[in-house]
Amino acid sequence: MNTNRRNFIRSTSLATASLGLAGPFSQSVFAGTPSDQLNVALIGVRNMGFGILERHLEKGNVNCVGLCDVDGNLLEKRASDVQKSFGQKPVLYKDFRKLLENKDIDAVIVGSPDHWHCLHTVYACQAGKDVYVEKPMANSIAECDVMVKAGLRYNRIIQVGQQQRSGKHWQDVNSMIRNGRIGKLRKVNIWGNFDYGVGQTKVPDQPVPDGVDFDMWLGPAPDRSFNPTRFHGSWRMFWDYGGGLITDWGVHLIDMAFWANEMKTPPKVTLATGGNLSFENNAHETYDTMSVIWQHDDFIVSWEHTAGTQGGPWDKNYGLAFVGDDATLVVNRQGYKIIPEWDDAKQVEKTSGLEVKMEGENHGDHVANFISSVKSRNTPACPPEIGRAVAVAAHAANIAVRTGENKLVWDEKSGAFSNSEKANNMIRPIYRSPWKLPEL
């Protein structure tokens, strides 16, 4: 056995032992199997996670060997769905640590709430599994940092679920912008107006539903009574579990802006304002109204949302407008349009216009890219470094408003804000015992 492999197995065994997991684990379970089958498991089966699992199973060479969720009723339903649609019978778990002890699992899909992304991903990496983790990468900046380190330390493939990176029309847009189709790119305006970003109508706390392990659902988040407005679906409107619209839909669109400018680190300056300006009878902490500007050298990106409304610029409720010297390119998942600038001196348009309509979604392409990366060990379309850069930008905007600082300056070298200790105090979450943020 060579030294690197010996050190890997030793470090993995020690790490997993400290987490109560069995070890050692194979460095590359899937790469060592003779068949072309990939064995996957899903943690968090309710919504997006299950959709991503379906995209995996539709590929035909993927087996679902495990499902895990704290809601036993939902777990049984999803097991039935898998068996009915794909003829497979996964093992069911309510504790993800038991799932990770299954050495037949090659890769784990993390579809749990945001406050669980870090622990589920890091523990899976330590257990020798590759990971497809839903966006946003994590619910805090420090958790994103740990996840990047975990992928590197344990030599794991991590794909963050920012699936537009695998979409052809997004790739075409990116290529046109980088190749000067709209002239010099100076600014990107982003907006996202959705009716779901305002939470549910307030109700009193209630008993925990039968079949739900609510203590495990809370995990590292603070202890509190059960309330349905903070549970399935609407949890993302509370700081303990999510970051609202900007970390949910926002990261998809922010990612496209950063990609066009080849940004792989968080922006240097964040200017943000916002608050809860409407829907007083709804249960939510995250902001229903926000305006944000990020600046990185000579590049500016803006974000706007007014949750509960569905109008927006260019007659679209969400999208991006890439503003160049020669044209503006407006794009969302339905297609894109190039609107040329007019040259007054020459009395001609500076470039030609173009409109392309699109249908469908990119989850299947992103899953295919992940599977390919697991096989080849090549970098996936959205590695953790990219997921981190985008998540940090979104978290910085929320932190700027929450602290009242409004302007924050990010120092990538130190991994902290250079102008605000109040903001720095919000980089690292406080975990509820016995859970601990891994030190890597």
Please give the class, per CATH, of domain 3-164+368-383: alpha beta
Enumerate residues 6+ apart whose C-beta is below 8 A from 434. none
pLDDT score of 429 more than 60: yes
215-270 pLDDT, tens digit per residue, is 999 999 999 999 999 999 899 999 999 999 999 999 999 999 999 999 999 999 99
What is the mean pLDDT of the segment spanning 109-130? 98
Share of the chain above pLDDT 70, in %: 92
170-215 pLDDT, tens digit per residue, is 999 999 999 999 999 999 999 999 988 888 999 999 999 999 999 9
pLDDT at 18: 44
Nearest-angstrom CA–CA distance, 316 and 193 = 9
What is the mean pLDDT of the segment spanning 94-102? 97
Share of the chain above pLDDT 90, in %: 87
pLDDT score of 11 more than 70: no
Locate 280 and state its tokens. Answer: 């007083």
Banded model confidence at residue 35, pLDDT cuts 50, 70, 90: low
CB-count burial class (<10 Å; 0-12, 13-18, 19+) for 303 = buried
pTM: 0.91
Q: For residue 141, which of 272, 268, 295, 266 has the smallest C-alpha distance?
A: 266
Q: 117-121, 280-284, 341-345, 416-420 — which is least confidently predicted?
A: 341-345
What is the mean pLDDT of the segment spanning 288-306? 96
Q: How many CB atoms lie within 10 A of CB 414?
A: 9
Instruction: Give the CATH fold of the 168-359+390-424 domain.
Output: Dihydrodipicolinate Reductase; domain 2 (3.30.360)
Nearest-angstrom CA–CA distance, 49 and 273 = 32
Q: What is the dihedral of CA 15, 20, 23, 26, to 10 degrees?
A: -70
User: From the centroid of its chain, how far is CA 261?
Assistant: 20
Q: Where are the domains of the chain?
A: 3-164+368-383, 168-359+390-424
pLDDT at 345: 81
